Amino acid sequence: MRPEEGVMQSRAQAMAALLELITDELVIICNGFPSREAHKLRDRDANFYMIGSMGATAGIGLGLALSQPEKKVIVFDGDGNVLMSMGTLATTGALKPRNFIHVVFDNEVYGSTGNQPTYSRIVALDKVASAAGYANVERVREREDIVYEFKDMLASEGPSLLLIKVNEQIEDADRVPIEPSEMTRRFKAAVDKGTS
Ligand SMILES: Cc1ncc(C[n+]2csc(CCOP(=O)(O)OP(=O)(O)O)c2C)c(N)n1
Ligand SMILES: [Mg+2]
């Protein structure tokens, strides 16, 4: 099915499908409701929630992927976040970390702050990633396509970008209750596990 057809999922539904497939990967989640939803759906020590700093998530994931080449790093990003730091797409495409999967939940709005429209309906972020040099880029919307492409990316050499078109629905999820210092401690421990 073409990605512009079929039933659109909420971000939480799409995220739940991805989280079911994750095992020991390191996951960095962008600020706003994506972090709240991921925490509600499946909190784990190897999740790092970027509370507050919009646009920073992909850069953190990229640095981690470059410094931990034996681990898979997955970034859960938003369209507004990606637009804010589009240079990170260029850096990722140029440096080509093989262990990096960039998931963009594209609802075409700054959903966490009241659905102000973003430019992602005009600027195709998947095409920007392709032009920048990402190795695999897919645009999906149906659940079965999300699962199929994500599985494929988990088994492939990156950098990969999965653009998931989602609706504007927000899951009723509380703020992430973990103190940043504690989250950093537990995340570092998860990164170090088995590598020393
Ligand atoms: C530098 C900065 N500007 C603005 C904000 C306020 N803010 C928090 S989340 C968000 C929207 C992020 O949009 P997107 O990445 O598309 O995620 P969505 O909320 O749609 O899930 C905004 C504007 C912020 N946290 N930091
Ligand atoms: Mg958005």
How do residues 128-174 score in pLDDT, each as one tens digit? 999 999 999 999 999 999 999 999 999 999 999 999 999 999 999 99
Amino acid at 70: E
pLDDT higher than threshold 90 for residue 4: no
By percentage, how much of the chain surpasses pLDDT 70? 96
Q: Residue 186 corresponds to which tokens in the numbers above?
A: 């537990």
Whether the CB-CB separation of 125 and 163 falls below 8 Å is answered with: yes
Please, what is the average pLDDT of the chain?
Answer: 96
CB-ligand 1 contact for 52 (6 Å cutoff): yes
Q: Which ligand is nearest to the CA of 114?
A: 1
Strand partners for 76: 29, 103
Residue nearest to atom 17 of ligand 1 (CA): 78
Residue nearest to atom 9 of ligand 1 (CA): 32
CB-ligand 1 contact for 76 (6 Å cutoff): no
Strand partners for 26: 73
Residue nearest to atom 16 of ligand 1 (CA): 80
**Residue predicted with more confidence, 3 or 73:** 73
pLDDT higher than threshold 60 for residue 196: no
Q: Given the CA of residue 105, which atom of ligand 1 is nearest to it?
A: 21
CB-ligand 1 contact for 34 (6 Å cutoff): yes
CB-ligand 1 contact for 109 (6 Å cutoff): yes
Q: Residue 11 corresponds to which tokens in the numbers above?
A: 């971000």
Residue ranges of domains in the chain, CATH in brackets: 11-192 (3.40.50.970)
- What is the predicted pLDDT for the residue at 195? 59
Query: Confidence band (pLDDT; 50, 70, 90) for 2?
Result: low
pLDDT higher than threshold 90 for residue 6: no
Query: Confidence band (pLDDT; 50, 70, 90) for 7?
Result: confident
65-87 tens-digit pLDDT: 999 999 999 999 999 999 999 99
Residue 30 CA to residue 8 CA, distance in Å, equals 21
Choice from 113, 115, 123 to test ligand 1 binding pocket (greatest atom count within 8 A of CB) = 113
